[in-house]
Homo-oligomer: A and B are copies of this chain.
Amino acid sequence: MLLRHALLVLLAERPQTGYELARRMRESLSWFWSAQHSQIYPELAAMEDDGLVTVEVGDGPGPRGRKTCTITDRGRVELRVWMASEPTPRPVRDELVLRAFGAGSADPVELVAVFRAEIERLQARLDRYDEIRAEIEAMPGIDDPATPEFGWLMSLLHGIASARARQQWANEMVGKLSSAAR
């Protein structure tokens, strides 16, 4: 029931169509959550059955109508309860750390290249984060947790902190592998 709560978080802000939700997942939320439209549409239907959202059908392009989903009071209660609950621990699967663990089975020169590439990817992401951060921090009411911008900034700060930590670690790996190769 995790996609369900991710959708409720987005719908709490304003009513949206499934297409819009899928786009926001892809474009902005994707740093910490993601889902395909093929997963979102059935879930929205199930949420309607459970009374968490109401669906309003209007005119739209294509063979089917455009369906706008609105969160119900019951949906808001469900969301508030979930927000206060402890995150269920999810198993981690990190290919890069697995490669670090298995360093003994790799060509050191090739492995250094893998880590250097990761450092560059992270740098590109950090540069992008900085741009967005400048935009968001200029917004009024950014320190008020009740505004959507607050949550946006907080999740961005997480992205920055974790990318920096990972980049530094990758850099350390490159250093150790390089000095050993010499």
Residues of A near any B CB (own CB < 8 A):
2, 5-6, 8-9, 12-13, 29-34, 76, 79-80, 83-88, 90-108, 110-111, 113-114, 117-118, 143-148, 150-152, 154-155, 157-158, 161-162, 164-166, 168-169, 172-173, 176-177, 179-180
Contacts and interface: CB of A to CB of B under 8 A. Distances in A.
Looking at A12, A30, A176, the one whose CB has the most chain B CB atoms below 10 A away is A176
B154 A173 contact: yes
A101 B9 contact: yes
Nearest to A92: B32
A96 B166 CA distance: 18
Contacts of A87: 95-96, 99, 114, 118
